[in-house]
Amino acid sequence: MRVRLGISPCPNDTFAFHAILERRIDMRGYDIEAELVDVQTLNDGLERGRYDIAKASFHAALLLSDRYDVLDAGSALGFGVGPLLVAGRPGVVPGGGMRVLCPGETTTATLLYHCLHPHTGTVAQRVFSDIGPAVLRGDADLGVLIHEGRLTYERDGLVLVEDLGASFERLADAPVPLGGILAARSLTDGAAADFCALVR
């Protein structure tokens, strides 16, 4: 059975799916047609039915819950791993008139920004890897970083304004739910469970 799989090129996904992508485990008869794209492209692809199984933001998973289920394995959540709000210079804070870049309309990072700073600034979307450089150039006042950007922002000359993940953790007393593996409910019986076993 052919499965259309979508994952992001982030280290979490490429590590977790390496054995599947390289067919280093028993694939149980499944032929994987994989695509590696940024998380917002994955969210959009699931909305359009492009993937049978894909990594997605938990924000998107909520919006797509009528057609997709979250697998019991492969989710990304935890403490100290949430998105970061950064600026190109010290003293910048969220407020009216601020230009803010986020990594996609249905990403968890964008949802967190809106929840923690409602009606604050003008939000625009960019591919996650373009946000830091755009903020440094002055194309925006603030940027929300995910993936490796949250680890390299200081080296890149950016200034931390707020750890959005830590703010969520304090308010919710829970880890930040970033993303999970979604499987289409239209899959053949047992396919989602089989794929969950492959991820494990």
Name the residues annotated as catalytic: 147
**Interatomic CA distance for residues 42 and 59, integer angstroms:** 12
Both tokens of residue 31?
């032929």
The β-bridge partners of 69 are 183
Reference 74, options 60, 51, 50, 58; nearest CA is 58
Q: Which residues contact 25 (CB under 8 A, 6 or more apart)?
A: 19, 198
DSSP state of 188: P
